[in-house]
Amino acid sequence: MPDAHSQLPFARSHEDRAGRAIPRSKGREPRITVEFSGERNVGRLATGHFTQTLVGTRLRVNISPDLSIASYVQYDTDTDAIGINTRARWTFNPAADLFVVYNHNVRSLLDRWQLDSNQLLVKAQYAFRF
Q: Per the structure, how many domains does the chain have?
A: 1
Question: Has residue 13 been placed in a domain?
Answer: no
How much is the average pLDDT of 90-111?
Answer: 87
Question: Has residue 59 been placed in a domain?
Answer: yes
- Picking from 55, 57, 56, the residue whose alpha carbon sits closest to that of residue 33 is 57
Q: Which pTM does this prediction carry? A: 0.66
Question: Has residue 78 been placed in a domain?
Answer: yes
Among 14-18, 84-88, 117-121, name the most confident range.
Answer: 84-88
Q: Give the per-residue pLDDT at 3.
A: 44
Question: Has residue 53 been placed in a domain?
Answer: yes
Which residues on neighbouring strands pair with residue 102, listed in sequence order? 86, 120
The boundaries of the domain holding residue 52 are: 30-126
Beta strands in 65-113 (DSSP E): 67-76, 81-93, 96-108
CA geometry: angle 73, 77, 78, nearest 5 deg: 120
| 59 Cα distance to chain centroid | 8
pLDDT digits (tens, 9 = 90+) for 15-56: 555 555 555 555 556 799 999 999 999 989 999 888 889 999
